């Protein structure tokens, strides 16, 4: 079955690369670092290279300005100097990268002689990682994960020589796991979640997914329900550790940006619609216009689309409705005030989600009005914000139910319900504050998953 899977990958590869190029029209990052996606690296930057070679490669890359060479040179700096042991963490996109922050920080603290290679699949994930982990300097470098073909994954492993592979949340790649097994690299699925829908999809893949599951050395699951579903696939060692996302620390810098943004907005009540997906903005804008009479007269609607390639599209959508829109990227945060006529603020920046949550009064978490599974509600809860969530939250089912039970979140049936609930909360200071306190208490109660996950790893990475 895996041979057939690999053949299909080879046949599809030209189409995959063509799609990558086309996506690059809206998001240029998709046209960069292609060598990494195919598992190609400069020979001079192999993991056995000495620090001098690594330094020379970095200097050459800075001079040349080439994306491909730059990626390889950065990798050299990470794995070449002094032969530092390498821990491999894979975070596919933005959400997984942000969730990985506590674990990455803890790994580098727990294993001070080690370095981390952090891989992604999307440019937004890579950009998020760059912003989050610049503090670690040369101890962490980034690369795209090679496509799931044995030869490409093998080149990656030979080059970086990782001691362990830690996949975040739901990333299971059959060839990657098989090659790691052949090369003696234990595979850990951390912060793992597996919905009933995903389990059914895995079951349809038969032996391909079952063999991959059996190749995983350890699964650190978010909930007991996730753990039971993972065990049904044949994974031998599964532990329940909770969600690492509860351990994310809000930085002073993020809070400072949030405070500056709030100062620019002024005293107006702010309804944030965060991580919205395609189709949701239309519903939100329509309901916002229809229900304006019930909302505070000076309310500001702050919309942050999940995917940056849609920023321009959403701005045009807002303007087409005759609404006055401002973009975060055009908003000065140096003491200037946003014009009072602005009805909608478009959050078009990367790495500022905590700032947006900090600046709002009520937060709606997107991906949940339509059957998309929802997004992470832990971040606004951790900041003590009342959270509204739509009917479709199967990707975060237990976390959502726990937040609802704790009184820190409220489920709405549709966009009209969203506006109705927002109107009530924005008009009732005491109810809003109580719900925010409940949300923060809920988030604080669930901390500790990073520590529990880290305690499971020493047996797998004894060499570090």
For the record, the structure tokens of 295 come out as 């909302």
Distance CA 176, CA 66 (A): 28
For residues 330-367, one letter each, b for 16 or more C-beta atoms within 10 angstroms of the residue's C-beta and e for the rest, the string is ebebeeeebeeebbbbbbbbebbbbbbbbbbbbbbbbb
Question: Which residues lie below 8 Å from residue 15, measured CB to CB, with a gap of 6+?
Answer: none
Contact in structure between 412 and 437 (CB atoms under 8 Å)? no
Give, rounded to a whole angstrom, the gap between the first and last alpha carbons of the chain. Answer: 35
**What string of DSSP letters covers 162-185?**
EEEEEEETT---HHHHHHHHHHT-
Task: Indicate if the alpha-carbon torsion angle 65, 67, 73, 75 is positive or negative.
Answer: positive
Contact in structure between 351 and 357 (CB atoms under 8 Å)? no
For the record, the structure tokens of 153 come out as 């994954």
**What string of DSSP letters covers 303-331?**
EEESSGGGHHHHHHHHHHTT--EEEGGG-
Distance CA 431, CA 169 (A): 34
Contact in structure between 159 and 181 (CB atoms under 8 Å)? no
CB count, 10 Å around CB of 7?
A: 10
96 is catalytic: yes
Q: Which of 364, 371, 233, 374 is nearest to 288 (CA)?
A: 364
Q: Catalytic residue among 96, 280, 352, 379, which?
A: 96
Distance CA 175, CA 347 (A): 38
Question: Which residues lie below 8 Å from residue 180, measured CB to CB, with a gap of 6+?
Answer: 153, 157, 165, 186, 187, 215
Give the residue numbers annotated as catalytic, written as ranges: 96
């Amino acid at each position: 079955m895996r041979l057939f899977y690999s053949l299909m990958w080879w046949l599809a590869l030209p189409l995959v690369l063509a799609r990558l190029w086309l996506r690059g029209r809206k998001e240029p990052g998709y046209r960069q670092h292609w060598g990494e996606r195919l598992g190609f690296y400069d020979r001079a930057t192999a993991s056995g290279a000495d620090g001098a070679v690594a330094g020379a490669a970095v200097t050459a890359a800075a001079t040349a300005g080439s994306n491909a060479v730059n990626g390889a040179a950065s990798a050299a700096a990470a794995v070449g100097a002094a032969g530092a042991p390498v821990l491999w963490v894979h975070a596919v996109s933005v959400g997984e990268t942000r969730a990985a922050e506590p674990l990455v920080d803890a790994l580098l603290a727990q294993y001070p002689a080690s370095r981390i290679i952090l891989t992604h699949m999307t440019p937004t994930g890579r950009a998020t990682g760059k912003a989050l982990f610049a503090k670690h300097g040369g101890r962490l470098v980034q690369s795209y994960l090679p496509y799931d073909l044995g030869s490409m994954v093998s080149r990656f492993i030979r080059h970086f020589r990782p001691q362990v592979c830690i996949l975040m949340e739901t990333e299971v790649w059959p060839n990657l796991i098989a090659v790691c097994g052949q090369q003696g690299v234990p595979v850990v699925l951390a912060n793992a979640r597996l919905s009933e829908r995903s389990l059914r999809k895995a079951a349809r893949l038969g032996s391909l997914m079952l063999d991959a599951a059996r190749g995983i050395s350890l699964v650190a699951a978010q909930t007991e329900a996730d753990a039971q579903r993972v065990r049904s696939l044949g994974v031998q060692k599964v532990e329940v550790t909770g969600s690492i996302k509860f351990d994310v620390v809000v930085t002073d810098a993020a809070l400072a940006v949030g405070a500056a943004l709030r100062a620019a907005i002024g005293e107006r009540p702010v309804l944030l619609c965060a991580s919205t997906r395609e189709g949701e903005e239309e519903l939100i804008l329509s309901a916002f216009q229809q229900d304006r009479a019930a909302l505070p007269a000076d309310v500001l609607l702050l919309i942050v689309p999940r995917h940056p390639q849609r920023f321009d599209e959403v701005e045009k959508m807002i303007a087409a409705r005759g609404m006055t829109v401002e973009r975060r990227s055009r908003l000065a945060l140096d003491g200037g005030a946003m014009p009072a006529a602005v009805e909608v603020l478009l959050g078009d920046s990367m790495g500022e989600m905590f700032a947006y949550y900090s600046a709002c009064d009520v937060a709606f978490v997107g991906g949940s009005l339509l059957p998309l599974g929802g997004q992470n509600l832990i971040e606004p809860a951790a900041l003590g914000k009342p959270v509204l969530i739509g009917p479709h939250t199967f990707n975060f089912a237990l976390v959502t139910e726990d937040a609802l039970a704790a009184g820190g979140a409220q489920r709405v049936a549709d966009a009209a319900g969203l506006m109705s609930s927002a109107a009530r909360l924005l008009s009732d200071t005491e109810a809003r504050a109580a719900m925010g306190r409940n949300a923060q208490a809920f988030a604080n109660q669930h901390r500790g998953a990073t520590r529990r996950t880290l305690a499971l790893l020493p047996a797998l990475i004894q060499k570090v």
